[in-house]
């Protein structure tokens, strides 16, 4: 078996040496997370098309099927396939798709299952692979045999999803198809969106605790490295910019340490920033000290959270006044760092687009930044603590809190995210509970912003309430597997995850 396992570039050299004359190379590629009879039949059919059967597998880091996937690490997936008699060589790919791999291996035949014949359902980049095959002088072959879905088998029989999520999805599949949902997500592309809110730079400083300091009861740690990320309203704009081609973000930075160059270079091409500089402080920076497990040891915040100087606030209000008829949706992200004056809140009342509101409670504003400081919105998205603060109810049942607050804010929808319990959404008729889809969390920072970004777009597109909550939860699950705001939720990743969940 070991002789079959080859590094990709070594395999390319081997094939150039051995595949001569009439010996044809057949290439199969995929994740192959759970090897099943459909895969065996596929490989057997592929081998009949040539003499040397090569299988490449997607590496763990590029498996975009959502949290908990792949279920089996790349080396085990490779070993399992190498144990099959009809397979001659196995390699782990180096790229997200097989395009570069095809150019490297130059197969005579590239084989896929019959489910890939429908171009409209392509979420994997297969059409680009098809072009690569032709450019390499090869041909396509589609096998037509019994098929199974690794994702469906894992979802239903291997505990990849929490129990509540499995029961929920069994019912959800009876009303919604993955292809229809993906089409609705594609349709968001033409929306013009404004994001307005506080800019935050999230810093992660990795440390290795080495003991107590010798002269005080203070934890001493070795510094290992640091990274910074565009957070707050900037992260929301990047999430939205993955789904919409025209996104503006209005935000405020501090003149004393603006980080403006970093911010501009870390926004998506589809996002246009409109930056106002306040002269009396720095751009907000949240610096977290974490160990190698991402356990937070300490946090320092650099901020100026007093209300904006009058001339800066007037500039923001003037820009809102000029563009109030421009946007299909306006996403308001108030992190409580002084950007939203009473005048700005009133100006937002006159914006014509669909208004979505996300107001944060954090250590810097605890008790002083309730969502009720805004008069109205079309969609409100907060967490359970923020719901309880706004409702002045610390211990009452969550289900009883949402509708009174929704009515007070004149909102059509209100969502409260509930952490590991998922989310609850009120629409005036009932409360809809949507379970969490992810049981293994890497970092919760930014997950709520991802939920709000996608749910708000879906609400603005007038999708059904059940879809708004489902897609918000799916986006939050994807974000919880990423450190902070290191990556945005991208359309291909969400589309693939939706497809995986609904198999």
Alpha-helical runs (H) found in 306-430: 310-322, 342-349, 384-391, 402-408
Tokens read off for 258: 């603006």
The rounded distance, in Å, linking the Cα atoms of 190 and 245 is 6
The conformation of residue 367, written as its DSSP 8-state character, comes to T
pLDDT at residue 159 above 50? no
The side-by-side arrangement of strands in the sheet containing 139-143 is 89-92, 52-57, 25-30, 109-113, 139-143
In this structure, what is the dihedral angle of CA atoms 449, 451, 456, 459, given to the nearest 10 degrees?
-170
Judge whether 247 and 353 are in contact, CB under 8 Å: no
The rounded distance, in Å, linking the Cα atoms of 351 and 415 is 22
Query: Which of the residue ranges 34-38, 82-86, 276-280 would you say has the lowest mean pLDDT?
Result: 34-38
Query: Which of the residue ranges 25-39, 343-357, 393-407 would you say has the lowest mean pLDDT?
Result: 25-39
CB atoms within 10 A of CB 317: 17
Distance between start and end Cα atoms, the chain: 32
Mean of the per-residue pLDDT values of the chain: 90
State the pLDDT at residue 214: 80
The rounded distance, in Å, linking the Cα atoms of 302 and 286 is 7
- Give how far Cα 110 sits from Cα of 45, 53, 86, 105, 288, Å: 12, 10, 16, 11, 48
Which of 107, 122, 119 minimizes the C-alpha distance to 46? 107
Task: Write the pLDDT tens digit of every residue in 66-83.
Answer: 666 787 888 889 999 999
Residue 24's φ and ψ, nearest 5 degrees, are: -100, 140
Pairing of the two strands 296-302 and 284-290:
antiparallel
pLDDT at residue 152 above 80? no
Write down the CATH superfamily of domain 2-157. Answer: HUPs (3.40.50.620)
State the pLDDT at residue 500: 84
Task: Write the pLDDT tens digit of every residue in 81-140.
Answer: 999 999 999 999 999 889 999 999 999 999 988 777 665 555 566 788 889 999 988 999
The conformation of residue 255, written as its DSSP 8-state character, comes to B
Rounded (10°) angle between helices 491-501 and 465-479: 110
DSSP per-residue codes, 368-379: S--GGGS---SE
182-501 fold: 3.40.1190
- Residue spans of the domains in the chain: they are 2-157, 182-501
State the pLDDT at residue 158: 41
State the pLDDT at residue 157: 42
């Amino acid at each position: 078996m070991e002789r079959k396992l080859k590094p990709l570039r070594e395999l390319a050299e081997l094939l150039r040496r051995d595949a001569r004359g009439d010996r044809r190379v057949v290439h199969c590629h995929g994740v192959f997370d759970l090897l099943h009879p459909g895969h065996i039949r596929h490989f057997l059919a592929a081998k009949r098309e040539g003499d040397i059967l090569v299988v490449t597998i997607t590496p763990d880091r590029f498996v975009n099927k959502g949290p908990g996937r792949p279920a089996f690490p790349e080396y085990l997936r490779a070993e399992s396939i190498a144990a099959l008699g009809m397979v001659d060589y196995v390699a782990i790919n180096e790229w997200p798709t097989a395009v570069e791999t095809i150019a490297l291996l130059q197969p005579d035949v590239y084989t896929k299952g019959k489910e890939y014949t429908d171009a409209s359902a392509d979420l994997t980049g297969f059409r680009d692979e098809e072009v690569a095959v032709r450019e390499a002088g090869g041909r396509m072959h589609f096998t037509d045999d019994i098929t199974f879905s690794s994702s469906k088998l894992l979802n239903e029989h291997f505990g990849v999803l929490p129990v509540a999520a499995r029961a929920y999805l069994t019912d959800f599949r009876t009303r919604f198809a993955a292809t229809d949902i993906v089409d609705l997500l594609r349709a968001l592309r033409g929306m013009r969106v404004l994001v307005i809110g506080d800019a935050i730079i999230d810093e992660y400083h990795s440390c290795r605790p080495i003991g107590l300091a010798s002269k005080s009861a203070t934890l001493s740690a070795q510094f290992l490295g640091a990274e910074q990320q565009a957070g707050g309203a900037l992260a929301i704009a990047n999430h939205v910019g993955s789904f919409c081609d025209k996104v503006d973000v209005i935000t405020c930075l501090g003149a004393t340490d603006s980080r403006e160059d970093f911010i501009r270079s870390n926004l998506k091409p589809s996002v246009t920033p409109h930056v106002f500089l306040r002269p009396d402080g720095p751009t907000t920076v949240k610096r977290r000290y974490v160990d190698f497990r991402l356990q937070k040891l300490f946090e320092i915040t650099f901020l100026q959270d007093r209300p904006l100087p009058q001339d800066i606030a007037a500039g923001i209000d003037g820009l809102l006044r000029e563009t109030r008829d421009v946007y299909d949706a306006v996403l308001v992200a108030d992190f409580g760092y002084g950007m939203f004056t009473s005048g700005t809140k009133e100006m937002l009342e006159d914006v014509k687009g669909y208004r979505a509101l996300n107001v944060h409670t954090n250590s810097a504003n605890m008790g002083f930044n309730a969502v009720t400081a805004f008069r109205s919105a079309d969609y409100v998205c907060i967490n359970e603590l923020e719901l309880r603060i706004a409702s002045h109810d610390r211990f009452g049942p969550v289900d009883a809190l949402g509708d009174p607050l929704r009515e007070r804010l004149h909102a059509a929808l209100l969502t409260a995210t509930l952490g590991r319990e998922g989310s609850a959404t009120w629409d005036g008729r009932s409360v809809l509970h949507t379970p969490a889809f992810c049981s293994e969390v890497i970092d919760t920072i930014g997950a709520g912003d991802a939920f709000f970004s996608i749910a708000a777009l879906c609400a603005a597109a007038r999708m059904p309430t059940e879809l708004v909550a489902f897609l918000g939860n799916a986006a939050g699950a994807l974000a919880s597997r990423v450190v902070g705001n290191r990556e945005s939720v991208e359309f291909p990743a969400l589309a693939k995850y939706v497809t995986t969940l609904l198999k």
